[in-house]
Amino acid sequence: MCGIIGKIGKVNCMKDVLEGLKKLEYRGYDSAGVAVFTDEGVKRVRAVGNISALEEKLAGTNLDGRLAVGHSRWATNGNVTEKNAHPHRAGRFTVVHNGIIENAAALKTAYFENDAFESDTDTEVAAKLLDKFYDGDAGRAIRQAQRLMTGSWALGILCDDCPGTLFAAANGSPLLIVKTESGNYIASDAGAAPDPIEVTKVENCEYAAVTADGYTVYNENGDALQKAPLAVAAGALSLDKGGYDHYMMSEIMQQPEAVRRTLEALPDSDFIGDAKEIRLIACGSAYHAGLVGARLFEAVRRIPARAEIASEFRYADPIIGRETLCIFISQSGETADTLAALRLAKEKGAPTLSIVNVPGSAIATESDRVILTQAGREIAVATTKAYSAQLAVFYALALGRSEALSRLPEAIYTAIAENDGKCRRLAERIAGCRNIFFIGRQLDNAVSQEGSLKMKEISYLNSQAYAAGELKHGTISLVEPGSPVIATVTDPAILSKTMSNLHEVKARGAFTIVITTRALAPGLEADVTLTVPDVGPMLAPSVAVIPMQLMSYYTAKALGCEIDKPRNLAKSVTVE
């Protein structure tokens, strides 16, 4: 949450910082701001809203320079106001920050009791600490401030006395130094800088001094470190909208490729070993992928498995140990609750495996073993291709490789092609409704959870997913004449059970939609039938989720919602 960027080059770089900020906007879009070194010192401009609001404020100012920092904010401490927007300034220091300085209030009382503060943020406390400890040596001031702060931070720092150096410091929040032909960047995500030549991670308690020609990373004692750069991903999946109106649609379309690459890159290794039990721990959509994984491990491998919400798991004092394989699922690899759950599992001696999309991220680095999904960078806040890539990993782990699995990318492609138009038309009807319900049993229930989350997070319509048999135990009272009820029916063994539940809501006036396979479709009664290729019941979540994603996308579009950046959300959730 929150994106930070900075650049130092041989020529003016405001344009590059703004371009980079747009690529980081997925991390938060409550407000945005920049600070730049000019001949008259450091100047900053901040605006509530997204980067275009900032660009409007910058238009006509001619503000530019060879060293600049930028920030896009997801508010944690302090309301969404201009005074709380970054960069923050104190004395000779200007700071952009991602993370939460947990002891900011205590530091404020201890060091600045009588000082006036411009903002309500923890970041201003960091800027004030830097200024307090500054005696002409910015590195020393950073070290002293880092020693006092607790919590997580990635800081981009300008010091008024150092027009040729961009400083950076990190602890628990991602921060990368990216070398490019046109200069050197610091960024929350390497994708914010075009054509990286070399990417280096600033790790916990380290800080860096970056110049136009190079950079040095130091440890907490001020010793210069020899750091090995991370591998720069070659041939990554497209980062633009690919001609679509939104990243989300471009990413939906990239799913066949994301799944194909993930399966190709997956090592042929026994990741499950002799585990007696498996826990799959994650948040949001990644948790929904875990629901599918758990079902598969139990159904096929007959290993007791259960998916758990990371924020619950971490406080549950879970009964786990050497024989419990704990699998952590995360697109970003940064999610605070998932990371804390991983650390807890390690403390308890459980073997850990993570399934992560961002190489070098905290979860990927800290787990015993890691499987990297190859979805490429995902920009839309609502995940699609990363979820699909996670499912592909579970098929390979639980079912093993098969002819059907190798044909899955093609089936996903067909599911998109055959449902796009139908879902667009259906969305017009769904957009006018108050409550939407997704129902299914077993794997169909697991994938319905994801479909429902997709719908509510981008369209803001109230949507709920229920185990089909459970609806009548209370929630059915919300079904009104015309309420869309979307039943997923891909397993012949339980088809008639879910269809009975669909008939129950039809009898109460619901508008019924069924997602099923081509083979099962004939004879199923519903107002609308959406068909997906026959890939077998175990792989079906990967094709069934496609019409759900498309319906959600087109419903949100019909309602004029901000699809790629839904309100109140951020792409990576680095707070509890």
Closer residue to ligand F6R in complex, CB, 94/332: 332
Binding segment (CB under 6 A) for ligand F6R, from list 61-69, 182-190, 281-289, 461-469: 281-289
**361 part of the interface to ligand F6R, by CB under 6 A:** no
CA distance 259 to 414: 14
Query: Nearest approach, Cβ of 337 to ligand F6R (angstroms)?
Result: 8
| Min CB(545)–ligand F6R separation in Å | 12
Q: Report the site for ligand F6R in 304-343 (rule: CB under 6 A).
A: 330-332, 335, 338
Using the rule CB under 6 A, which residue among 95, 286, 355, 486 binds ligand F6R?
286
Q: Are 565 and 26 in contact (CB under 8 A)?
A: yes
**Shortest CB 264 distance to ligand F6R, Å:** 22
Q: How far is residue 325's CA from residue 400's CA, in Å, rounded to a whole number?
A: 18
Smaller CB distance to ligand F6R: residue 141 or 356? 356
Pairing of strands 31-38, 67-73: antiparallel
Q: What does the per-residue mask of binding to ligand F6R show for 452-491, with x meaning CB under 6 A?
A: -x---x----------------------------------
Name 287's Cβ contacts closer than 8 Å, sequence gap at least 6.
Answer: 280, 281, 307, 308, 309, 310, 329
Burial classification of residue 433, based on how many CB atoms lie within 10 Å of its CB (0-12 exposed, 13-18 middle, 19 or more buried): middle
Q: Enumerate residues 367-426 that contact ligand F6R by CB under 6 A.
A: 382-383
Amino acid 79 reads N
User: In this complex, which beta carbon is closest to ligand F6R, that of residue 98 or of residue 330?
Assistant: 330
In the bound state with ligand F6R, the residue whose beta carbon lies nearer, of 187 and 286, is: 286
Q: Judged by CB under 6 A, how many residues of this single chain contact ligand F6R?
A: 15
Contact set for ligand F6R, span 429-458 (CB under 6 A)? 453, 457
Q: Are 307 and 294 in contact (CB under 8 A)?
A: yes
Q: Which stretch binds ligand F6R (CB under 6 A): 53-61, 66-74, 221-229, 282-290?
A: 282-290
- Of 381 and 510, the one with the shorter C-beta distance to ligand F6R is 381
Q: Which two tokens stand for residue 277?
A: 């039990």
Element of type H or E holding 217: strand 215-218
Beta bridge partners of 330: 356
Which strand (E) or helix (H) includes residue 352? strand 352-356
Indicate whether 285 belongs to the interface with ligand F6R (CB under 6 A): yes
- Output the six-digit token pair for 300: 């096929």
State the nearest-atom distance from the C-beta of 91 to ligand F6R, in Å. Answer: 36
Read off the amino acid at residue 448: S
262 touches ligand F6R by CB under 6 A: no
Query: How far apart, in Å, are the Cα atoms of 557 and each of 453, 454, 549?
Result: 16, 13, 12
> From the CB of 257, what's the least distance to ligand F6R, in Å?
19
Helix (H/G/I), strand (E/B), else coil: 529:
strand
Q: Does residue 545 belong to the site contacting ligand F6R (CB under 6 A)?
A: no
Choose, by CB under 6 A, the member of 283, 399, 486, 540 that binds ligand F6R.
283
| Distance in Å, CB of 573 to ligand F6R, minimum | 5
Q: Which of 515, 535, 541 is nearest to 527 (CA)?
A: 515
Burial level of 402, CB count in 10 A (0-12/13-18/19+)? middle
Length of the chain: 576
Q: Give the residue closest to ligand F6R by C-beta.
A: 284
User: Is the Cβ of residue 107 or residue 453 nearer to ligand F6R in the bound state?
Assistant: 453
SS3 of residue 51 by DSSP: helix
- Least Å from the CB of residue 35 to ligand F6R: 29
Catalytic residues, which ones?
Answer: 2, 571
Report the residue number, 370 or 479, with the smaller CB distance to ligand F6R: 370
C-beta of 171 vs 572, nearer to ligand F6R: 572
Cis bond upstream, residue 256 (ω within 30): no
Looking at the Cβ atoms of 90 and 345, the one nearer to ligand F6R is: 345
Minimal distance, residue 341 CB to ligand F6R, in Å? 11
Interaction residues for ligand F6R, span 515-544 (CB under 6 A): none
> Strands 484-489 and 511-517: what pairing?
parallel
In the complex, least distance from residue 378 CB atom to ligand F6R, rounded to whole angstroms: 8
Nearest to 202 by CA among 181, 173, 182, 222: 173
| Contact (Cβ atoms closer than 8 angstroms) between residue 392 and residue 250 | no
C-alpha span between 373 and 240 (Å, rounded): 20
- By CB under 6 A, residue 119 contacts ligand F6R: no
- Tell me if 573 contacts ligand F6R by CB under 6 A: yes
DSSP percent split of the chain into helix, strand, coil, nearest 5: 35, 25, 40
Could you give the angle at which helices 408-430 and 540-558 cross, rounded to 10 degrees? 30
Told to check if 572 binds ligand F6R by CB under 6 A, we report yes
| Binding stretches for ligand F6R (CB under 6 A) | 283-286, 330-332, 335, 338, 382-383, 453, 457, 572-573
